Structure 1
């Protein structure tokens, strides 16, 4: 369900999703408690450890469900309009807001990216009648008044909202302008998303970057792929004997090794052919930029989905080699699983630039010519 709109304002709610999630949790947890009790009664004389574990875990689920249900009934209001942001306990004009962002919590390597939080940094001297985020207590209030720290408040968890993150990001971009922080300030100073780069100013052809492979080397790779496929085809000849004479030309004991070698030859041949036909490629043009890894499919990002594009080291790595990094507009999902979180903003690492001809010195200006103010080195 979309947000409630009217007279230039957008209202967001949490009741329906929280209540639905709470009812689902309570139903499953209640069934677990009943199943544990039935197991305990039916298993008289047997062990009680199993039923008790089920009952305890299900009881924890009941507690979680009741907590979700209680949260769904707490006062909540989130309105975004030309005036500012209205909450159930405060009204802030845009002049009282330093920045607002969809902040992604840090994640470990083995978990998916959690949904972002809606966070707000008030202007110096402005506070909210609620606790600031953890680690920002009384001392932080004093330092914030002195302009030495940015006091931050979490307004909502986006996975609790009845509306989508895209709807929320659109409302913040439309009404918040430059106060909607779409990338870390060290990467790009806040800029309204309506400000477009030069990507549509005049006809400019796309620019392609691929590794400079000498002609003989490329020919040799193609011949190697063909030789592997020929070997794989020869290894299939015993199947002809099996079809005509109903027997293999070798001992059945060798069937396993023959099958493994044949499968490996086919895999290597097809993979080598794909690597030969589809090398690494970076494509930059008036509609966006995309990278295709060796033998892979292209990951394409349109400019309207890009908040910033930078050249620099891979986030969180000690390696100082230069990468091309895309910072997507908050709320815009990209079909790429690997990502990094820097200061609450998602970054997608596209390609290490020393793998392409010219490196950062050549690729950076080419990207900037299309990205405009989105680009920073």
Structure 2
């Protein structure tokens, strides 16, 4: 950039002076313009020659343009930008990688522009997609050396206690254990794993679908073999289509019967499976918090899993809130007993991770 700017400036100057007899006074605006381009190029080249550096250790965080000890850092963590297609279909944008962000202590500033959306209190350090090491190594280093300064929970998360105290990242250092019903915060021993399986009506739907599919299939086979319609003409004309629909319904009903909707709450975490689908395991080490909220679209309660920074589950994320990925687990009103039965079991096994936050 610098070389091209200077070369273009010299070539234009020589062409105007030699070919057209233009004086230096007339060239002054053009020379100033190209000089500004050259200076901008020199500044850019100076910045490019400084390689980006990010080091996280027991002392603090070192960048290519600044160094901060942990005493100068209020909070550090990952922020997942909204956007992209969680399904990742053809032509869809991929889910963006998170950014590493930092909140310095009061009166501490970095030699770079702060994020205006946070009133100049937060700085974006790097897009993790540009790093030469996996995201897991970054999160492990922050968790190991940053401790409670690592942003793990969304802002405004309320612990499930009558006092309504705000649960912060410092609660990660508290003894593990479920919060008891009295709200004292003392760990209690979880009971037996709880399984909630919605099996009602699956066998009946499969039987009805199979009978209907066989009936329509036999009608079509008998008509093709004998040439005589065993039922009136209009009904016979619809028999092939009805048979195809019935077999499709029967196949779906069979999957729902053999793989019913299920939620298992136990020592490994939350294992959820929609009817006919495959299960997803949300293991406790990968869960920062569990809340229960209703979806604005259907007003039914869902358990929400707030993933630990850098943790990726086999299910696509549902949305992003306060820079953190959120996963809807399963609709509680479709499980036996509903929210009144399932939520106490989730609270018991969540070992201090259970909280409350209105879903936006």
**Fold shared per TM-score above 0.5:** yes
CA contact (8 A) 1:327 1:347 kept: yes
Partner of 1:205: 192
Partner Cα separation in structure 1 for residue 339 and residue 219 of structure 2: 52
CA distance in 2, matches of 1:157, 1:279: 41
Q: Could you say which structure has the larger radius of gyration?
A: 2
Equivalent residue, structure 2, for 1:117: 99
Matched, 1:325 2:304: yes
Partner of 1:172: 142
**TM superposition shift of 1:267:** 0.9
C-alpha deviation, 1:354, in angstroms: 3.0
Q: Go from structure 1 to structure 2 and tell me whether the alpha carbon gap of 1:250 and 1:157 turns closer, same or farther (over 3 Å shift).
A: farther
Secondary structure at the aligned position of 1:290 is classed as strand
Structure-2 residue corresponding to 1:313: 294
1:286 shift after superposition? 0.9
Between the aligned partners of 1:288 and 1:250, the Cα distance in structure 2 is 60
Distance 2:127 2:245 in 1: 49
Distance 1:354 1:157 in 2: 40
Whole-angstrom CA distance in 2 between matches of 1:310 and 1:79 = 34
Tell whether the 8 Å contact from 1:238 to 1:249 is kept in structure 2 after alignment.
no
Q: Does 1:106 align with 2:82?
A: yes
Deviation per CA, 1:256-286: give whole Å up to 9, x if none.
9655433211110121233244332221001
Structure 2 unaligned regions, length at least 5? 1-44, 86-91, 158-166, 179-186, 229-233
- Partner of residue 93, structure 1: 69
TM-score (norm 2): 0.68
Q: Say how many residue pairs are matched.
A: 284
CA distance in 2, matches of 1:230, 1:355: 27
Give the corresponding residue for 2:255.
Answer: 274
> Counterpart in 1 of 2:15?
none
SS of the equivalent of 1:373 reads coil
Shift, 1:289, TM fit? 0.7
Contact 1:197–1:371, Cα closer than 8 Å, also in 2: no
CA contact (8 A) 2:190 2:348 kept: no
Query: In the TM superposition, what whole-angstrom CA distance separates every residue of 1:84-105 from its partner, at most 9, and x where no partner exists?
Result: 1111111111111111111011
Retained in 2: the 8 A contact 1:326–1:350? yes
1:1-377 paired onto structure 2 within 5 Å: 74-107=50-83, 111-135=93-117, 140-141=119-120, 151-187=121-157, 188-191=167-170, 197-198=176-177, 204-211=191-198, 213=200, 218=201, 222-237=203-218, 249=226, 259-314=240-295, 317=296, 321-377=300-356
Could you tell me which runs of 5 or more consecutive residues in structure 1 were left unpaired when the two chains were aligned: 1-68, 142-150
Partner of 1:45: none
Superimposed CA distance per residue, residues 105-158 of structure 1 (whole angstroms, 9 cap, x where no aligned partner): 12266754211000111111111011112445xxx35xxxxxxxxx11111101
Could you tell me how far apart the structure 1 residues matched to 2:316 and 2:47 are? 31
Secondary structure of the 1:351 match is: coil
Q: Give me the CA root mean square deviation.
A: 3.5
Call closer, same or farther: CA 1:196–1:277 in 2, change over 3 Å.
farther
**Residue 240 of structure 1, CA deviation:** 6.9
Q: Secondary structure at the match of 1:372?
A: coil
Name the SS of the counterpart of 1:100 in structure 2. Answer: strand
Greater CA drift, 289-298 or 72-81: 72-81
